[in-house]
Chains A and B, each alone.
Chain A
Amino acid sequence: MLRKLFSLVSGQCSADNPDSPQHQEILLPGSLYGMIIKEKLEEALLQMRNQILTDIRKGVAAVDFFDSLSVSQRFETLGLIESPREIHQ
């Protein structure tokens, strides 16, 4: 890349044209959905982390990562996942 930069500055090569399809790709729906889902999952994880951190700091509730029930309860209180009943409707 450094070579290319030097070559461009010294005028030995031309800049790539971003308007040309030569340098373009198609944004596929699948990649877009993937990006959205990935970001939403990251958001959910961060929310979860924040909630657990506040709980530990305040000492209100014991945090047990091996208790799947309390973990799923956390998810529900945060509204991150819909309960199965809602999905069926």
Chain B
Amino acid sequence: MATFLATGNLVSPSGLDLQQAAGFTIVAEKLNWYRYISHFRCVHRGAFFAELKTTDVRKLLPESWGKVLRFCNYRVHKRFAGFICPVHTPDGTPCGLLNHLSRSCRIVTSPMKSSHILTVLASLGMTQTFAPTVDGSKNICVQLDGKVIGWATPTLAKHLATTLRIYKTEGREDIPLDLEIGLVPISKRGQYPGLYLFTSRARMMRPVRYLLNGRDDSVGSFEQVYMDIAIKPEEVDPGVSTHVEVSPTNFLSILANLTPFSDFNQVCGIVRPPHLS
């Protein structure tokens, strides 16, 4: 253990299912406070990807489908927006692989109670797994941490997701705030539909405001793709937007947030994307 912490080299017969065996630790250089604090907010995609010739893994703004969020002509793909800073990544080899968490991004580190969620869902009308007949063509799957816990029709699944979100933001039924409610709607050639709930650790979550009841909500990277989060209260699209950002610059890292006048024209100097698109 001491050797591991000192060298960052992993000596293990099984490899622990990891893609690399070295470079797990870095020295937190204290060049200045900004560099020092950034060390504790950075996250690396893995040494394996550094050798890949493809830039796919480094891209911040890939697919043309889906909604994009505009911030001074720089397009941040919706699924990235908020968790990982689009500008705070070094030039050179680790560009796009060594990223920094956004200012408001948190990582869930404590386990939460999830056993009662099944009961809550069942009381809201979800068909449980022991039902004698389930029409697979009309129902979508409800999963909690990867386990199938039931079935629901798409309309019911939507109702379940909304109710769970109201419960968790208002603290009712003991639903934890860090529960992630990913409702994947039925689509042609899109992601496989279902209601996916997560309570596990190591997920990225960030705070936003839920418009329905004006409470603070916490969203994860899985569910965010299927949400419409307005940046400013004025930009709320009635009937479409469900959430609004707490602060418009929340998607930048701590360091990028410190850049003065980032909501003026000077932003072009800060937000200069790496040439990967």
Contact = CB atoms under 8 A, between A and B. Distances in A.
Q: Do A and B bind each other?
A: yes
Interface of A: 3-4, 7-8, 11-14, 16, 19-28, 30-33, 35-37, 39-40, 43
A25 B201 CA distance: 9
Contacts of B83: 21
B84 A28 contact: no
A28 B16 contact: no
A24 B189 contact: no
A33 B1 contact: yes
Nearest to B198: A25
Given A27-B202, A36-B12, A39-B16, A13 B4 contact: no
B109 A14 contact: no
Contacts of A36: 1, 4, 10, 12, 16
Contact of A13 (B12, B24, B141, B189): B189
A21 B24 contact: no
A80 B221 CA distance: 42
Contacts of A19: 56-57, 59, 62
B221 A12 contact: no
B16 A13 contact: no
B169 to A, nearest CB: 22
26 contacts: A3-B141, A8-B192, A11-B189, A12-B189, A13-B192, A14-B189, A14-B191, A21-B79, A21-B84, A21-B221, A22-B225, A23-B222, A24-B221, A25-B202, A26-B43, A26-B107, A26-B203, A26-B204, A27-B18, A28-B109, A28-B202, A30-B109, A36-B10, A36-B12, A39-B16, A43-B13
A51 to B, nearest CB: 18
B115 to A, nearest CB: 22
B239 interface: no
B133 interface: no
Contacts of B14: 39
Interface of B: 1, 4, 10, 12-14, 16, 18, 24, 43, 56-57, 59, 62, 79-80, 83-84, 107, 109, 136, 141, 188-193, 200-204, 221-222, 224-225
Nearest to B141: A3
A20 B13 CA distance: 30
Contact of A7 (B109, B192, B204, B224): B192
A16 B141 CA distance: 17
A77 B200 CA distance: 41
Given A22-B225, A39-B14, 5 more contacts: A4-B192, A8-B192, A13-B192, A14-B189, A21-B79
Nearest to B223: A22
Nearest to A5: B192
A17 B144 CA distance: 21
Contacts of A33: 1
Contacts of B192: 4, 7-8, 13, 16
The 6 closest A-B pairs by CB, nearest first: A25-B202, A13-B192, A21-B221, A4-B192, A19-B57, A35-B16
B202 A26 contact: yes
A13 B193 CA distance: 8
Contacts of B225: 22
